[in-house]
Each structure stands twice: as C-alpha cells, then as structure tokens.
Amino acid sequence: MDTLLDATETFIRTHQAWAALVVGFIAFGESIVILGLIIPATALMLLIGGLVGSGIIDPFPVVTGAIVGAVLGDIVSYMMGQWLGPGVVHQWPLRHYRERVARVRLFFRKYGFLAVFFGRFFGPLRCTVPLVAGMMGMEQRRFQAANIASAVIWAPAMLAPGWLAAKGAEQFGDLTEAHWLGLAVLMTGIAILVMVVGAWFARRMAPARRRADQIRSRR
C-alpha cells in the first residue's frame, strides 16, 4: 500500500491539474461493490487531504471531484443491483460474500433511506448498500436523495483529517493553552460521537447478523 500512496502523491504533485480526477476515481471505485473492499480509499483520501492542507492543490476541485465520484459510484452499484437482481449473490464473485450481503439486506429492510445515507460512512457497508438498494427495488428518487446528501458530507469529512494534519505546528503554534484545551475537548467530543454512532450501528446490525446466521444454519 505504501507504494501506491507514494505513486499517488508523486503523480498529484507532478500533475496538479489531475488531482480532482484522481480523487474522483478513488471515490468512485470505493463505492463499487467488491472493488470498494480492495481500494485503500481512506489512506488515499487522507494523503490528498494533506496535499490540500499543504497548499499544493486547490480544495474546491478536489472536494467536487470526490463528491461526483462518490455519487456516480453509488449510482452504478444501484443500477447493477436493479439489473442483476437478488440472484447476483449466487454468482461469482458475490457468492463469496453472501453472508455480508444477507446482513446488509436485513439492515436495509429495517432502515431504508437511513441505511443508504449512513452506510457511506462505514467501510463494510459503503460499497454494498447501494447494490442492495437496487436489488430491493428502492425508489430511485429516495435513493438519489440519500446518495447525494451523504456524498456532500462524506467528501470533506474524509479529506479534513489530512488537511488538519498538514497544517501542523506552524499554523497552530500561536495557540494559547486555553485554545489547545478547547481543541482537545472538541476532538474528544467528535471521537466520542463517532464511537457512539458506530456502537449504535453495531447494535442495529446484530439482529440482522443473527437472522442471517439462522437462515444459513437452516440450509
């Protein structure tokens, strides 16, 4: 993975005008079923966020590229689900991920719109929920609303940690102890919020996992 990160950084530094297209392809690939499990998108987005924070590339084209790529990736996965139908889980390569898809289907049945919206922020769900939404016949207008809204939030959220890290001590060196304390409290609060949301999703996914195990045990 280090080789891929180094190659990506070198390419973007050399061809800054291509940065938006590169991040768009990363976001697109991460949203495609199966392919999203292979691409180290989180590390790549952190890297690109760092290049934005360093002033090497402009933020607006990069964020726009990430949003467009994420939206298009989910659309492709959704259309694949519509076209191939539920039987796709019995075909290669998804037959190797039938348990995962079964859990996501149960999760989607329970939460629908929210499953599509929040699924983008969790790696195991990100590239599977749109496919399941298409398989389950979710109304396209509702899907696109969740797809676009989540992408608009997800793109800057993924780039922000790298941007903050790139600012470094030079930008924050003049902060007083009170400022640092406030920043620490804010970051701790964000971390707690993420943990709470993650725990909530884990609890919600648990019944779906148990049902999937029960269905599998009956076969």
Is 200 within the bounds of a domain? no
Measured distance CA(52)–CA(106) in Å, rounded: 39
Give tens-digit pLDDT for 23-45.
999 999 988 877 777 888 888 99
Residue 218 lies in a domain: no
Q: Could you write out the DSSP letters of every residue in 168-190?
A: HHHHHTT--HHHHHHHHHHHHHH
Domain extent at residue 124: 2-170
pLDDT in tens, 69-94: 999 999 999 999 898 877 777 666 66
Residue 92 lies in a domain: yes
Domain-embedded: residue 66: yes
CA distance 32 to 70: 9
> From the centroid of its chain, how far is CA 5?
18
Residue 81 lies in a domain: yes
Rounded-to-10 torsion of CA 193, 150, 120, 198: 10
Model confidence pLDDT, tens digit, residues 156-178: 988 888 888 776 645 555 555 56
SS percent in the chain: helix, strand, coil, step 5:
85, 0, 15
The count of domains in the chain is: 1
Cα→Cα distances 33→46, 75, 103, 123, 149, Å: 22, 11, 15, 11, 20
Residue 1 binned pLDDT confidence (cut-offs 50, 70, 90): low
194 in any annotated domain: no
Both structure tokens of 50: 């760092």
Q: Is residue 60 part of a domain?
A: yes
More confident residue, 33 or 108: 108
pLDDT, average across residues 188-212 = 60
- Alpha-helical regions (H) of 31-112: 41-53, 59-84, 98-111
- Give the Cα separation of 215 and 210 in Å (integer): 9
On whether residue 175 sits in a domain, the answer given is: no
